[in-house]
């Protein structure tokens, strides 16, 4: 059996703004609206479908595995945007990146409080 994650829904106060934020930071494109969703397709085929949420938004965590070169580009856009970033998911080490598993990683929040992460090595890959 082959199982692949195809898409997930991301709750947002403003789906257009939120999709644009992610796409701009990661260097991706926002796709045309599909039904009530604003999609952002990740290069591995998974799509994040942004959906306006009228109530409180429960923050979720979205981690993006990126190359070393892409990390440099994305991290540069995080800094250019003046975003606070952390070396850890608990936001205890501001202004730092981590070197977990011999790679690099950092966390930052989107406009809805979702905890986003970029990392260059999967957890547990050693190094």
pLDDT per residue over 87-105, tens digit each? Answer: 999 999 999 999 999 999 9
| Strands laid side by side in the 38-41 sheet | 7-12, 47-52, 38-41
Distance of alpha carbon 50 from the chain centroid? 12
Q: What is the pLDDT of residues 51-80, one digit of tens each?
A: 999 999 999 999 999 999 999 999 999 999
Asked if 40 and 23 count as a contact pair (C-beta separation under 8 A), the reply is yes
Token digits of residue 107? 């966390």
């Amino acid at each position: 059996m082959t199982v692949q994650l195809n898409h997930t829904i991301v709750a947002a106060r403003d789906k257009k703004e939120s999709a644009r934020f992610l796409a701009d930071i990661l260097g991706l494109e926002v796709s045309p609206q599909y039904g009530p969703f604003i999609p952002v397709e990740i290069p591995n085929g998974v799509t994040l479908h942004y959906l306006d949420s009228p109530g409180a938004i429960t923050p979720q965590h979205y981690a993006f595995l990126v190359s070393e070169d892409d990390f440099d580009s994305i991290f540069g856009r995080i800094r250019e945007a003046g975003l606070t970033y952390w070396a850890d998911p608990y936001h205890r080490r501001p202004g730092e990146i981590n070197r977990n598993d011999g790679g690099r990683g950092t966390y930052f929040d989107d406009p809805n409080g979702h905890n986003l992460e970029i990392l260059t090595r999967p957890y547990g890959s050693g190094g």
